[in-house]
Structure 1
Amino acid sequence: MKFLLDFLFRVLQLFTEPYFLVFLAVVIIALLKRKNKCKNLRTGIFISAVVMIILIGNGFLGKLISGYLQKSYISSSGMKNTPAQNPIIVVLGGGVVDIDNIEKLHTMSYSRIVTAYQLYHEYRENNQSCKILISGKGRGHTSEAELFRENFKKMGVPDSDMIKEDQSMNTYQNAKYSSQIVNQMGPSSVYLVTSGFHMKRSVALFQTFGLKPIPKASDFIDTEITIFPNSYNAAFTFVMLKEVVGIWQVQLYNSLGMNK
């Protein structure tokens, strides 16, 4: 059952890829034209494709999705009024890039580092203990967790205050493996640091594994309403569309008890 649903969601995620949608529209129109049938259907598909390109490219659809994904976490991104019971800051990896065989963190990772450090520093200034749990293996030779650790160390965070979870390859595993570590550390106030567009799905998965994280969004993305479609709007809209599909998957699997 789970294998079949995994496959179906993989297929559904294809519809959040711009090239696939264009390819699909072209293939359908070409097949219908070859049979010399369904002229009205061909016209309808063409018009639908044009309308979709406009809605995605002019930022309208992205603006709606951006609010759905991120609005709840804008006010929670501040650092005030933080609880003090054994705080653990869980930071999710944002990807690794490899340029000339040199591995560096993806751009969005640095906003997560800054946000986590600000929260950590707030506790340390008040002489309170605080741990940073870095979650992410990535697909490079060096894990995301290790690259994060190196950056935190340069900012003055001692190794004794950092915990590496360097086995997870996706958000589901981030939540699963991090929750196992947190549960071994006893009652704690758990903060979750990741990008705003990624927060809703991340929180849902951490809750699935028994944690109630306090969200601390590190960055936000949005589109701009424009008269003419542009690639900036399209790129961010498709990123957010894929995230929405991921949220649907989490919700369905949770309702079926398949996310453990």
Structure 2
Amino acid sequence: MKTVWDTIFLFFKVLAEPFVLCVLIMIITVIFNKKKKKRAVTISSIVLVLVIVGIGNGFLGKITANYLQKEYKNRTNSNPDIPAVIVVLGGGITDFNGIESPHITSYSRLVATTRLYNEVRKRQQSCTILVSGKGNSTITSEAVLFRKALMAMGIPDSDIIEEDRSENTYQNAKYSSAILQKQKPSHVYLVTSGFHLKRALLLFETFGITGVPYPSDYINTRLTVFPNSYNFAFTSFMLKEIVGIAQVHFYNSLGLNKSEKQVR
């Protein structure tokens, strides 16, 4: 049963790619045209235009960005509670000519983590950073790369813990929660991109960890007269997150999120 639901949600995530969605609508329009169903051709053509305009001009992106990020927009302005463990989620690895480094989306997370850590340490209180992520590399994990980057920013190696098995947000939550439950910190700060926070928090709660959201960055689209690739790309990111959030809620209702092989 779980495999069936995995396939269904994967299908919706594929449809969250505007290019795929537009191609699918065009194929449907051609089929209707061959069958000489003029009314259906007109409707599908209108839908295609609405999709291109709604996504490419930034309208849908504005709505999804607001839904995903609005409640976290002032989180970085408050004073942190202590003692604390900061969990920072990886954002991927870039391999350029054999040189591996954190993906560009990861650097804002590293900066936000360092800022939060320094705020806690200013009060002369202990603070531990848990870096979570294996990433897509078979050589160096995200956790190792994050650790090196954080140390370069002045954070002591003794204050950094690695979780280097997780390959997705579900596993970030699963493996990190096992470490956190042993440490029993008073507060757990979850550092990741604003558009990713809602789903990440839900998954950590699934494993018994109530995280304090700490957004590292935000994304948004721009309202434009003509459709552009920027709006298409960022809207796609956010639509996939919305599908992922729906998947978490649905799987939690069925008890499927406790599965070892579940992928996010």
What range is the shorter-chain TM-score in?
over 0.9
| Identity rate, percent | 53
3-state SS of 2:218 partner:
coil
Deviation track 1:44-89 (CA, whole Å, cap 9, x = no partner) reads 11111111100101111110110000000011122x332113x100
1:243 aligns with 2:241: yes
**Residue 244 (structure 1) shift:** 0.4
Residue equivalent to 1:51: 50
Q: After TM superposition, list the pairs within 5 Å mapping 1:11-22 onto structure 2.
A: 11-22=11-22
Counterpart CA distance in 1 for 2:89 and 2:141 is 12
| Unaligned stretches of 5+ residues in structure 1 | none
Partner letter of residue 210 of structure 1? G
> Which stretch has the larger CA shift, 131-140 or 228-237?
228-237
Deviation track 1:128-174 (CA, whole Å, cap 9, x = no partner) reads 11100000101112111111001011112122100000100000000
**Residue 18 (structure 1) shift:** 2.0
Residue equivalent to 2:105: 108
3-state SS of 1:216 partner:
strand
Residue equivalent to 1:132: 129
Partner letter of residue 203 of structure 2? L
Give the TM-score taking structure 2 as reference length.
Answer: 0.94
Give the TM-score taking structure 1 as reference length.
Answer: 0.96
Counterpart CA distance in 1 for 2:224 and 2:27 is 29
Counterpart CA distance in 1 for 2:76 and 2:205 is 19
Residue equivalent to 1:10: 10
Counterpart CA distance in 2 for 1:142 and 1:187 is 28
Q: After TM superposition, list the pairs within 5 Å mapping 1:1-260 onto structure 2.
A: 1-35=1-35, 37-78=36-77, 80-85=78-83, 87-140=84-137, 141-260=139-258
3-state SS of 1:212 partner:
coil
Counterpart CA distance in 1 for 2:145 and 2:252 is 32
Deviation track 1:202-246 (CA, whole Å, cap 9, x = no partner) reads 001111110111000000001111222111111111110010000
> Which stretch has the larger CA shift, 94-103 or 215-224?
94-103
Counterpart CA distance in 1 for 2:27 and 2:231 is 25
Counterpart CA distance in 2 for 1:186 and 1:53 is 49
Query: 2:22 touches 2:52 (CA, 8 Å); kept in 1?
Result: no
Query: 2:80 touches 2:119 (CA, 8 Å); kept in 1?
Result: no
**Residue 33 (structure 1) shift:** 2.8
> Which stretch has the larger CA shift, 54-63 or 118-127?
118-127
